[in-house]
Amino acid sequence: MSELPLKDRIALVTGASRGIGRAAALALAAAGAHIVAVARTQGGLEELDDEIRRLTGASATLVPMDIAEDGSLDQLGLAIHQRFGRVDVLVHAAAILGPMTPVAHIEPKHWDRVMSVNLTASYRLIRSIEPLLRAAGRPRAIFLTSGRASRPKAFWGPYGASKAALENLVRTWADELENTTVRAVLLDPGRMRTKMRAEAMPGEDPTTLPDPSEIGPLVVELAQADLGLPTASVVFSDWKRTGSLASA
């Protein structure tokens, strides 16, 4: 029996209690990684841990927290440093949709919350986790983005703006790390059967959409791939159609 491809790797996954984050955590665990799972809901994390135990016989490290809270990601980085000393794989899937409303009608508190979760927390995560990635042998950082970053559409203002800014931030950071072993990638899952998609498109038939579990193998592949600078996003539907990471 061949050795698991990510055996003994440390994989940090945000938004791990549901949707794409959960699917990524399960796929990485099945490939041999130890999962450090971050999400706001304790119950969802415990359900994830139960599933990982059923799949692999191993447990995950569960971190219930709001990534937008001041200092939370700094504390996370310190705790991982003290326990593991490194992060081999980072999957940043945590995000919120925010209000679906005209830009002129967005309440400042709602704008601030979307930017805090989707953008500022991403910067704080990079700041906290970069030393742990540098301490790994061949680290990979995977950030979830959206087509709305490059294709704006009415009523998607806060979400689309936050993802556009995230893409710029990740590409800037990746360029800064070009001469290290750290590699980052932007992953666009497209339309997928998630709670966020249901909130955004309540009239859509979810059975017509891919299940989040389908993206798991792509996450595992990206965690091992020889990646260049992320000048374009890896699009799930393209990978599913061609089986190629050419866009990476």
Is residue 71, in this structure, part of any structural domain at all? yes
CB 63 within 8 A of CB 46: no
Decide if 5 is inside a domain: no
| Residue 47 CA: distances (Å) to CA of 174, 218, 240 | 34, 23, 28
22 close to 46: Cβ distance less than 8 angstroms: no
Predicted confidence pLDDT, tens digits, the chain (248 residues): 468 999 999 999 999 999 999 999 999 999 999 999 999 999 999 999 999 999 999 999 999 999 999 999 999 999 999 999 999 999 999 999 999 999 999 999 999 999 999 999 999 999 999 999 999 999 999 999 999 999 999 999 999 999 999 999 999 999 999 999 999 999 999 899 988 898 888 888 889 889 999 999 999 999 999 988 888 899 999 999 988 776 44
Separation between Cα atoms, residue 171 and residue 142, nearest integer Å: 12
pLDDT at residue number 194: 85
**Which residue reads 């866009």 in tokens?**
247
In what helix (H) or strand (E) does residue 234 lie, and over which residues does it extend? strand 234-235
- The confidence score (pLDDT) of residue 195 equals 87
Q: Is residue 169 part of a domain?
A: yes
Element (H, E) at 14: strand 10-14
- Specify the CATH number for the domain of residue 97: 3.40.50.720
DSSP secondary structure letter of residue 153? -
Q: Domain for residue 125, yes or no?
A: yes
Tokens found for residue 101? 């409303």
Tokens of 156: 């998607």
Write down the pLDDT at residue 203.
Answer: 86
Our answer to whether residue 123 is catalytic in this structure is no
Contact 139, 130 (CB under 8 A): no
What does DSSP say about strands 234-235 and 183-188: parallel, antiparallel, or unpaired? Answer: parallel
Per the listing, tokens 């995950």 go with: 60
pLDDT in the model for residue 55: 94
d(CA 152, CA 160): 6
Q: Considering the candidates 19, 68, 148, 159, report the single residue annotated as catalytic.
A: 159
Task: With CA atoms as reference, report the closest residue to 19 among 94, 117, 91.
Answer: 94
pLDDT of residue 1: 43
Q: Is 155 helix (H, G, I), strand (E, B) or coil?
A: coil
In a domain, 247, yes or no: no
Please state the pTM of the whole predicted model. 0.94
Q: How many CA atoms within 13 Å lie on the side-chain side of 240? A: 14
Domain membership flag for residue 1: no
∠ CA 40-129-74, nearest 5°, is 60
Determine the structural domain holding residue 172 and report its residue range: 10-242
Number of domains comprising the chain: 1
